[in-house]
Structures are given as C-alpha cells and as structure tokens.
Structure 1
C-alpha cells in the first residue's frame, strides 16, 4: 500500500463500529475507534477470510474448479471427531464464496466459516470493546478531520473513554414528508437542544399569549426552507456535532429508515457517518438494526435495549414507557390522534410542534438514563465482544467467549449442531399443592444452570474428550454424556463471570451485574439451541436433568426436617413452615434450611462424584400469606401461577402475582384491577362477595365502560392472518374497512376494542351495545372463582342469589 506514514506509535480507544473493506484487490479491516483525543479510523491491511477444513478432505475440496487463489496452512488443531484440520485463507469475497459453494456441492464441511474477519481479528486476541492498536499514523485522511491509523498489532485494554450521544426524533406527515428533527443530549449536566424545522421564523408575539415552552422553542429552532434543506442541514449538523452514539425510539426502523427513503426520493446523499461515510443498508429495503450500515456511529434503539435488559411493559410505546418510568408523557393533547395533530401543529403552531418534537427526544434520553441503558450496552459489549449496539446475538456472544479458548486447547468448532433425535427437557416444574397458606418461604438456587455447568464440568470440549477417556477421569452426565475433568473451558468462563458479578455487586455496579447475569443465564439457552454449532442434546440434558435431580433431592431433605414443599419451579422451592408464627422465627428457620441444604450438597458431591460443589441455595423471600390456585375445572394444583402477600415496612400489604390474569395484557383493565382487589380483601380478611356484587352492579349500570377496553397489537399484517377468529383481528378488520387507512392493516398496529353483542368491535367504530354479560362470565367469573372456592362459594351460585334482587 502506498502511503506516507509517521513513526510507530499506538492508538488507545473504544471500538465503535467494525467493517470489512475490499480495496485494490485486497481486504482491509476498518475499525472506527473513539480515543481520548477524538475519533480515529484504524485500518488493518492484508486481511483474510479464514475457515478450516478436515485435512483428509483437503485435496478433494481444492480440486474443485474455479476456486481462485486459496492459501492453506497445516495446524496443530483437531475437529470434534478428533481429526486434524487445515486452515484456508481467502483474500477476496469472491474466492471465499467460491470456496463455500464448492464445500456445499461436495458435502465437505467447513469449520467456523461464519465468523467474519473483522470480528475474528478481535476475538482471537480477547478484545471486546477497548483496545490498543500499535502501528503508524498515515499522513492521508479519510476526509479533512478523521485521522487514519495503520494498525500492525492489537491488544486488549480496559479504558474509561467518554462517548458523546444524541437523541434523535423526526416528525413527519402521514405520507412521510419531513417536518422537523429534534436533537437532544447532555454534556455533563448541561442540556443540548436543537430542532431543525421547515418553515419561517414565527413573528414575536406578546408574552401573555404564549406559554413558556413556546418562548423557549424560539431559542433552539433552526429554520430551513424545505424538506431538502432540512436533510442537508442535518448532514452538516452531524459533521459539526459528531456524536458517537445515536439513540431514539424505533430509531432504526422508523427514523433512520424514513430519513434514508426521503433523501433517496429527493436525490440527496447522506454522508452522516464518520469520515463522510454514507448511511446505508446491507440488505436493500430491510430497515432492521442488523442491516444498518453507519460507519463510526453506534445506534441504540430504546425499545430493543429495554427488551435486551429484560424490562417488561404492556406496551413499548414511548408514551406508555415514559409514563411508567418517568411519570411524564408526550407533549401533545391526543396521543392516539397524534398524526393528525402533528400535521395541524406544523401548519398552524410550529413552536408547539418544536416543543413536542424536542420533548420526545428528551424523554428517550431520560428513559436511557433512568434505566442505565447506556451503561448496560457498554458492559454487555465489554463482556461478550459483540459490537457495541448489537442486540440479541446470544450465539455470537457464546462464540466470542468460547472460541479463542477452544483454539488454544487444540480444537476448532464443529460445522453444525449434533443431533441424535433427542432433545433436552425443560426446567423442573413440581406438581403443586393448591390452597391458602401462611408463612411460605421461597428458597432459590442462585444461577442454577450456570452453577450446574461449573459444578459438573459441562463443556463442549470436555464432552468430546470425555467420551474417549477412562471413567475415573470424567464426570458423568446424562443421555450417555460424560465430561473430562481436564481444563474445562465453559466452567472456567462461568467462574470468571461469577467472580466479576460478585465484584460488581460489591461496587454497586448494577448495569455490569445485570449484564453478567443475563449472559450467564443465556449460556444454557445457547447450548440448547439448534442455531448453535455446539448444540448437543447430551450437553443441554446434562444441565436440565441435573437440575431436576437437584430439585427433587432438595425437596426430600427439606421434608425430612418436617416441613412441606408445596411447589417447585426450575430453581425455586416453596416451603410451608406452618401456620402459627408464634411457634418459630421464619427467618431463622429459612436460613437454617439454606445452610443445611448447601452443606448436604457439598458433602454428597464430594463423596459420590469427587467434585467441588458450586450450588448455592439462597433465602429469597417470605410470604406471610400465599395462594396456590387449582387448574380451572379441576382439583389439581396449577403451575407457574400463584399470589403471595407480605407486609412492607410502612405496614402496607404488598401483593405479588405470578402467571395470573393480573400480569397478563390480554385481560381487560377491569379484570386486572378486580383481581388485585379481590386478593387484597382475601388476605386482609375483608368481605369478597359484597364487593363483587357491587362491581357487577356498577358494570351493568355502564359505570365501568372505560375499563372494558382490550388492547392488543397485530403480530402480522391483516392480510397474512389465515383465520379471523381472534377478537382483536376481527376488530382490526372492521377498523381497517371502515377507516380506509392502509396503515391500520399493518403489523404492529395496536387495536383497541370492546366485546359487544355483535362480538369484538373497535372502540372508534363500535356500533352495537357492550356485551356486559361477556365481561361478567368471561372476565370476572374466572378470576373470582378460585377465591370463592376457598371461601366455600362459587361465582355462579353467588350470581344466582343476586338475580332475584336485580
């Protein structure tokens, strides 16, 4: 490569985006890195596509015509069949495509052919997020501002690099024409506020006729002549402000996709990436996060990252989430009719539109701060080696963690998952003993599946080795699996993650602790997934079936102490200590049980299997009152459904619902409210039947209509539903037909509907009367019967007694 270079030096920073570039017949790795001095483009020349092939099949594969140049290298590595492998290097995309095509045609597996070069370069060096590149600065630049560094070597670092973020939000017409873009961020505690708005400056009006928010809007609005000018001004803004991270709400699938489509329509390029790189998509017209290409800038979508952090909401609309977390919503009168209202504001009150636009951007920022999503995303990337900003990717995260250790142990990954027609069972769920209890304690095994992996040495490499080793050198698993005791990889990774999590807890680093917990718990799921090349039923079953064994034995030991186990689920055991709290101290008994069980497991595993025990039972919670219902229409106890209650320090009774209608979004608000009220009355020994009869009377009088609305999203376009029997689909079809709006037929549309005497009808287009009897029989009856049964009553009997009074 011809270039002028400066003396050898190094670049230390945080990798933002990774790219593979073909240039002048060779491959380069591009890493956009944020350093303490600013962004840098690091180029690694002479890259290769790399995969492996069984040495025994090498000659057959290479004799295939039209392969192009391929370099080979014999390595001291084996596949999982214990055969030797050879590395294959390709210096162009085309030669690599030819190679993979030939391997498929010949039925010769290639190992690790799905690991992209820009990722492999980092993970083989255990580099996840922060890095030091050694090499030379080039005197040429990708543009006037971005330095280019030619890297020769790289090593892992842990750095504290500040990243600059911006929250971005577009407002547009129904047809997608851009009205404005809101930009909000913070530099320390100082807010950054800007709205680029199509239009002309609003004349100064008398202060008394304007509110404060409109007055403020004058200061942060930048006016432009038209939509094209808005896009060009935004491009200039990116070059000037130069953010590392862009956040938003559906920011990829809506905002950036909309910007791309409008710029394309107007014939405008979008060089909003670093170094003048254009916004693009790896797959045409697939506006998804995994398809986005934006060099040097990380994009974080609030919806995706809340889900990645395991937040749960009935709706992930910004309005719903911001009200739930921040107790603040959108700055608009009618959220439901906001498309029409936004258009009206654009034409008649642009200052109010600017305030609305900027408020949306700020709300997203505040949600990220409130939930620590910035920190969570960073820690997740630092732990797994996944690109900063990538959601999902559990299999890729596993590969990133596991492969460099596997290679150093002398193996390459399999080409595909092992399948013997057997699949592992799920977690252990015990038959429950239904009833109303006092003093139920819940004892949880801490990170049960990761602890099983670590204790019983469950490991893909260990399975391959263990199957050919003497029994004394292995630990027995299930379905014929056995695991080598020699240098296991996965148990050591679990150990390291566990130690880091304990350290994070001590340092009160909640984002790191939370990220580690999610990653540790995902390891079993990856091994149980056919999408992972390491999947083997012997691995997954040796985890889940061992969990069954542990739960059953724990139950035996607890009941030998004279207590009754009424339920168990995966890693939790529910123990009834007795009804009279004067006879014992609940905490003392529960902690005593935990100590006894942990000692029993340590002793048992040392004596029977000669292994160290990392199983740890914990005292999770104490329910002063607890209700385990029966299955509907049966005397058998239900599973994964219960209600517990305890008294908070302020004396208030707190209820916890699991699997009940209270926590399910497909029940009406009325049903959920009444269910909570019924259990509160049950546990606080208040009258239940009189309350129910009063509710029914109010319902029939039309006083509770606002609580009868069901709300559910379409999971696909209306035309893709093969049956229209689902109430929300029927309501959606009516709404679409009567409104004539194509947008209301699309996947993701939230349908609000009522059950009427004509069936499900959308709220806005309801024609028939509300079917109150439906709500009595199908909503109130099912939630009331379990409680009434405990009290020796039934819903139908209670209703029959009421009928003469109506």
Structure 2
C-alpha cells in the first residue's frame, strides 16, 4: 500500500487505498466506511442527544474500558457528524475511546494488515483504459508480497527568489539500468559563450528537455509524472524545500499540480506548513533522505548533502564553491546550462546512492511492514504502538483509555552510577541486550496486565513499582516483544540488516511510548516498573561482579564498566568477559525463578574491551563525571582507535582546533608520547596566527532570530551582525548556517570580521578545558605551558 485516505462523497464515506500490484498501480475503494469510537454504555443516551450528528448507529459490545465499564460502539457516516460528536462529548465531560484512530487505519489494523494486503472484490469496468484501475473491495486480509517499487530521485535548482531553473530526475531499477533526465528552462545554444559541449557535459545533452519558461517547466514535470509514474519520490529536504517550492510556484502560475496518481493534486493538510506529516500526494510515497537517515539512527555533524555524501560516498557536489552555490548556480544558468544540468543530475544521483548505501529503501519498507505506519511516515512511535497493540487488546475484551493515566514522565530515567575517575588499563564493557524490552518481557509489564493485575489475587500477579501489579495471564506487550525478538534473530541470521535495525528501533521505542503523556496508555506505574527495575538490575549486577574480585568503575542505563585490576590476566580478556557474562546470566535466571517464579529474558553480553580508558572528573572537582569518557583499543591493523563519549570531541559547538587537539592529546597520553611539547607548540602557532582556519565555529540557527529569548549566544550575535552588514533577512531565519570567530569585540561572522581574533579566549576557553584532564594525570599545570614557564618535574 502506497497511500491511505478517507473520502466523503455526497452519499457515503469511502476508504481509498492506492496499492502497487504485480500488474501496476490500482486504486482500491472500500465502501460503506464509518468513523468509529466507543463510550461507556451508561453515557450513550447523553451522547446521542448531541445535535447534528447525522446518520449514527450504535452497537453494544462485549468490551470494557480500563475502568471495567461496559462499552458501546458509535458509528458515524460523515466526518462532520463525527466532529460534532467529539465536540459535544467534550462539552458534556464524557470520555470517548479511540476517537483518534482514523477509519482508513482502523480498517487495516483490525485485520492485522500493515503494508501488504490482499483485497477481494471486483474491478470497476467503465474506467477509461488510460485512467488508474479502480477495484471495489468487500474483504481484505494480510498477505506478504515482494513487488518492486519504481523510484525516482528529484532535485530542483532555482534562483535566490525561488524561480525554477531546472529539475533533475534520476533512478535505477533492480537490474541496475539507469534513468536520468533534466527539464531545463532555455535551450542548448543559450549558453552565453561559444563553448561546445565536451566530456561529461556532452554525455547528458540527450537527457535534457528544454522548455521556454518556468510555467512550461512545471507543466512538463506534471506530464513526466503521468508518463514515468513513479511509486516513490526521494530527495534531500524534498518535502520542505523541493515539493514546497514546486507547490508555491505552481500556485503562482495558477497551475493545478496534478502529480499524484489518477491526476490527483499535491496538497497540504495545514496551509503553509510544508512538512512530511502535512503532505498529501495520493498514490505516491515521498522519502526525505535527511529524515530517514535520522530515523535509522545515523549521526553526522551536519546533514547537508555535501557533508553526508562525502562521509558515506567519498564524493560530493559537482560545483566549485559549495558554500556559496546559490551565486554559482545562477551564473551557470546564464553562462553554462549544460554544467548546471550536470550539477543538477549529480545531486539527484548522490541522494540515490546514499539511499542505496544505507539501505534506506529497505529500511522504510520493513519499518512500515512491522508497524503498520504508512510507507514514508517518519516518527509515529505512538501510532506504531497503537497499531501493534490495539487489535490484541480488543480481542482480549478491552478498548484503549481515553487519555494518559498520569501527566508526563514521572518515572525516573535510566540508572547512572557514580564513576570512579582515573586512568585505567583493561576495562571490559558488559551490556544488557535490549534491557528495557527484556524487562517488559521478563516482568510481564503490560497496560492490560496492570488493569487486570490490580484486581487479581496476589498469586496471579507480578509486583511492579509505585504500587503496580501485573497479571500473569495472557499479557499482550511481553508477547509482542517476544515475537519481535524472534523476528530480529531471524533477520540477523539472514543478514537482513534493514529489518534487524527496524525491529531494534521499534523494540527500544516501547518504553519511550509508555513514558510519554502523548500515549493514551501512559501510566507512571508502567514506566517506573521498567526504569526502577533497571536500577535494581544494574545495582545487583554490580554487586555480583565485585563479589568475584573485580571493580565496577561506572555504569549507565544498561552498560557496566569493569576494571580487571590492572594486572595482566592469565587467561584472555575475552575469556574473562565471557565468564562474567555466564555467571551473571545464570544468577539472574536462578534468582528470578526462585524468588518470583519468572522466566528470565535478561541477557548480559560482552560488548567491548578498552585496553586503556580514561574517566575524567567534573571540572573543578574531584568527583567523577558521568556520561563522559575516552577509551582506546588496538585495531587489527595495529593502529590505536580512540572512542570519545560525551567529550568536546563529539560536540559541534567546539572549534575544530579544540577537537583536533583533544584527539591528539589522548592519543599521545595512551601512546606515552610527549604531551607537553605538543601543547606548547599548538599555543605558539595559535598566537602567531598559523591556526586561524581552525578557529571558526559553525552552528545553525534552530529558530528565527526574533524567536530567541536570549540573544547572548555567540552564533545568534554573529547572525545579527550578518543581517546588519547585508540588510538581508535570510541570515535571520531558522536553519541558517553561521560561521563566526571570537574576536576582541565578541562573536563576528567570518565574512564580515573587523576585529582581531581573541587568541586568549581560544587558549583559556577552548584549549585549557580539554587539556586539564590529561595534564592532571601528568601532574602538569596548563598555566605553566601557556606562559612558557614549565617547571622541571
């Protein structure tokens, strides 16, 4: 299924599903649809007295709410009537249950349908052969299919004011056959020069469709969509920039943007809110590279196409000045359109190759297939939980609550142990595999189980926290996690990385959903029974390890850092780690079986071994820090690899110089190389102006400047100065990349630097904080190095 819709006509309500079949796209229509919700049966009469409900039917069901009241289903045949029902219920102070579940979604989840389905019914015969086939469905069921989706990477080039110059389109099929096309305003001879196309530019001449103006470009693109007919459109900020820009330009020219299937129009559910969640494009799926990399938990210092493509593909944009590409794009449009077409296609190809390299196509499909979320929807953890949980809840005799039982995340977070700072050799890291999902499964934590447990006999329950008791009988959530865990092991065995990653993310999101007041199942007793049980598990694990003669120097949520004592072990490090894991896992199984009569699904694993490890103190204190450390291990090629956690090295708000120096300081510390001479040389070069290029801070505005309550942030001040110097408001907008230096007159944008660089700031506020932890180990004071008055030690 590509997209899902509910459509109201004059007579009735329909569900529309645009699906891709082995024989092409089809519009499936389900007739006689209804908006559905539930109420306590005692409140039905009051609700039916609400005016303007339209055609409504009701049915008493063998279901209960979480207060154990009998419930009745209410079925509305119009959207307007359903809205009146919801508003009237609010005015009467009456709870409605599951009123937020959309009809097109409920139809699927009640049948356990996620992405693939088989519809039974008949085709409409009087549809023109050129139109999209229409199928009237009477029944549907879950089926699995493997159908190739036709995808295209789309990218626009435009002027500073948004006028479209060209659109690049690139794709490949499963056989590796390429497709590429550029629709460009102008003509091949309109170059502003007498240069003949040669080399790589000459190869794309036949791939360009020349059009006379922007309006003709838009019409040509609409025709292209009808002809090529892609199922999936990908791009970089493709919704928030490309499609939003296309929509605005089409609107300017009075063109109906009919690029959806069946000549349906692209639109937005909320005016002027150009976001993936507000986009409507019937019959097509839109995947934005930035959003989907983040959804798959990729992390980059910058999510610009240039940065990500360099990191993943080792190549980037086909332009000389990436930072000022707007000016160069306009120049190419007027001087060398073939070069602009090459640049345009290269951007489209970069996006395609990033999707293939990271398997984002497969990840998006597997995520939808697992959760029932629409293909292309990012986020949606609460909706995914509902899709998975509700059909089982209904079959167990309950409807979902009307809202959260408590307001917010009252439960504590993960357990973070006080650290023992210092420089260590041989630290073993032991991790509990999927700790929170394992806790849910082991201790039978479940929304339905909580309701039933509170009214059950003691022998039939498992104690939680904050007074929670969970029924041992047929819990839903632990069974869902069991199924997901089994599927993940199968995916790993089959080397299906996208499926394995999708399952891992879903499993780990379950605690977050239960801990969020945006979820109707949220209850502090549920969330606390997970996190506080995690605290208990981590403390007991530490106790068992230390009883074996080892020291635990730190622990964080699910990880335990064990010092082996500083002596060369008789057996291998890996063997010691395995022994610790085996002992702890065995003890947990015995403890839970004997004390709580529970099967244990907690699984401690030997995660890693740091040959050297540094846990710093809090600045200006002897107390150990938390969530900050540096570890080192030797790679197979013999090189020393450093791992930074929570240090300045991994934070983008420190200068490139500070990050480079910190990396080198710890490399020298662990390699027993001279730290002091290196640091003195850096400070000397800094004062001589040799390192100015490494002093530039780069940060983006997270909101418009006018929306910042505190204007003291250096990058905000620098952005304000850019606006003042240029009189250009674009530098004040959210997302603007600000490059600035700290000068004797504060933060100044690099382009408009007037004052001298404040080298003392970089020494005192950048180099000293990152140097002090290392120098403390060496018993050297930073001041003695900075002043070139190093004492003999």
Fold similarity call, TM over 0.5: yes
Provide the residue aligned with 1:782 in structure 2: 769
Q: 1:222-241 maps to which residues of 2 (within 5 A)? A: 222-241=209-228
Partner residue of 1:54 out of 31, 40, 46? 40
Question: Does 1:179 find its partner at 2:171?
Answer: no
Partner residue of 2:610 out of 623, 626, 630? 623
SS in 2 for 1:140: coil
Question: Does 1:201 find its partner at 2:188?
Answer: yes
8 Å Cα contact 1:143/1:275 also seen in 2: no
Q: Partners of 1:561 and 1:204 in 2: how far apart?
A: 78
Q: Partners of 1:711 and 1:88 in 2: how far apart?
A: 56
Q: 1:675-694 maps to which residues of 2 (within 5 A)? A: 675-694=662-681
Q: Partners of 1:764 and 1:703 in 2: how far apart?
A: 19
Shift of 1:799: 2.3
Provide the residue aligned with 1:6 in structure 2: none
Q: Partners of 1:573 and 1:649 in 2: how far apart?
A: 25
Q: Residues 709-744 of structure 1: CA distance to partner in whole angstroms, max 9, x if unpaired?
A: 101110111111122100000000000111122211
8 Å Cα contact 2:408/2:517 also seen in 1: no
Q: Residues 43-100 of structure 1: CA distance to partner in whole angstroms, max 9, x if unpaired?
A: 0000000000000111122123333221100000000000000000000011001100
Q: Residues 144-163 of structure 1: CA distance to partner in whole angstroms, max 9, x if unpaired?
A: 23110000100111110100
8 Å Cα contact 2:653/2:699 also seen in 1: yes
Partner residue of 1:97 out of 71, 83, 105? 83
SS in 2 for 1:111: coil
CA 1:804–1:607 in structure 2 vs 1: closer, same or farther (change >3 Å)? closer
Provide the residue aligned with 1:438 in structure 2: 425
Provide the residue aligned with 2:476 in structure 1: 489
Partner residue of 1:653 out of 640, 648, 658? 640
8 Å Cα contact 1:142/1:275 also seen in 2: no
Partner residue of 2:631 out of 639, 644, 647? 644
8 Å Cα contact 1:434/1:637 also seen in 2: yes
SS in 1 for 2:32: strand
Q: Partners of 1:82 and 1:208 in 2: how far apart?
A: 81
Question: Does 1:724 find its partner at 2:741?
Answer: no
CA 1:803–1:740 in structure 2 vs 1: closer, same or farther (change >3 Å)? farther
Q: Partners of 2:414 and 2:611 in 1: how far apart?
A: 27
Q: 1:783-802 maps to which residues of 2 (within 5 A)? A: 783-802=770-789
Shift of 1:138: 0.6
Partner residue of 2:661 out of 674, 684, 697? 674
Provide the residue aligned with 1:398 in structure 2: 385
Stretch deviating more after TM superposition (580-589 or 711-720): 580-589
Q: Partners of 1:695 and 1:43 in 2: how far apart?
A: 70
Q: Residues 184-240 of structure 1: CA distance to partner in whole angstroms, max 9, x if unpaired?
A: 001221111100000012389999965412111212111011111101110110011
Provide the residue aligned with 2:343 in structure 1: 356
Partner residue of 2:458 out of 467, 471, 479? 471
Q: Partners of 1:436 and 1:803 in 2: how far apart?
A: 23
Q: Partners of 1:323 and 1:421 in 2: how far apart?
A: 41
5+ residue gaps, structure 2, are none
Provide the residue aligned with 1:144 in structure 2: 130
Q: 1:238-257 maps to which residues of 2 (within 5 A)? A: 238-257=225-244
SS in 1 for 2:204: helix
SS in 2 for 1:299: strand
Q: 1:188-337 maps to which residues of 2 (within 5 A)? A: 188-202=175-189, 210-337=197-324
Shift of 1:579: 1.5
SS in 2 for 1:438: strand
8 Å Cα contact 1:18/1:31 also seen in 2: yes
SS in 2 for 1:18: strand
8 Å Cα contact 2:54/2:78 also seen in 1: no
Q: Partners of 1:242 and 1:390 in 2: how far apart?
A: 21
Provide the residue aligned with 1:12 in structure 2: none
Q: Partners of 2:150 and 2:454 in 1: how far apart?
A: 52
Q: Partners of 2:688 and 2:787 in 1: how far apart?
A: 19
Q: Partners of 2:408 and 2:743 in 1: how far apart?
A: 49
Q: Partners of 1:223 and 1:801 in 2: how far apart?
A: 67
Q: Residues 213-269 of structure 1: CA distance to partner in whole angstroms, max 9, x if unpaired?
A: 211121211101111110111011001100000000000011001001001100111
Q: Partners of 2:570 and 2:198 in 1: how far apart?
A: 65
Question: Does 1:532 find its partner at 2:536?
Answer: no
Question: Does 1:561 find its partner at 2:548?
Answer: yes
Partner residue of 1:120 out of 98, 106, 109? 106
Partner residue of 2:649 out of 662, 677, 683? 662
SS in 2 for 1:47: coil
Q: Partners of 2:491 and 2:514 in 1: how far apart?
A: 26
TM-score normalised by structure 1 residue count: 0.97
Q: Residues 89-136 of structure 1: CA distance to partner in whole angstroms, max 9, x if unpaired?
A: 000011001100100000001000000000000011000000000000
Question: Does 1:22 find its partner at 2:11?
Answer: no
Partner residue of 1:707 out of 694, 716, 728? 694
CA 1:577–1:251 in structure 2 vs 1: closer, same or farther (change >3 Å)? same
Question: Does 1:74 find its partner at 2:74?
Answer: no
Stretch deviating more after TM superposition (639-648 or 733-742): 733-742
SS in 1 for 2:715: helix
TM-score normalised by structure 2 residue count: 0.98
5+ residue gaps, structure 1, are 1-14
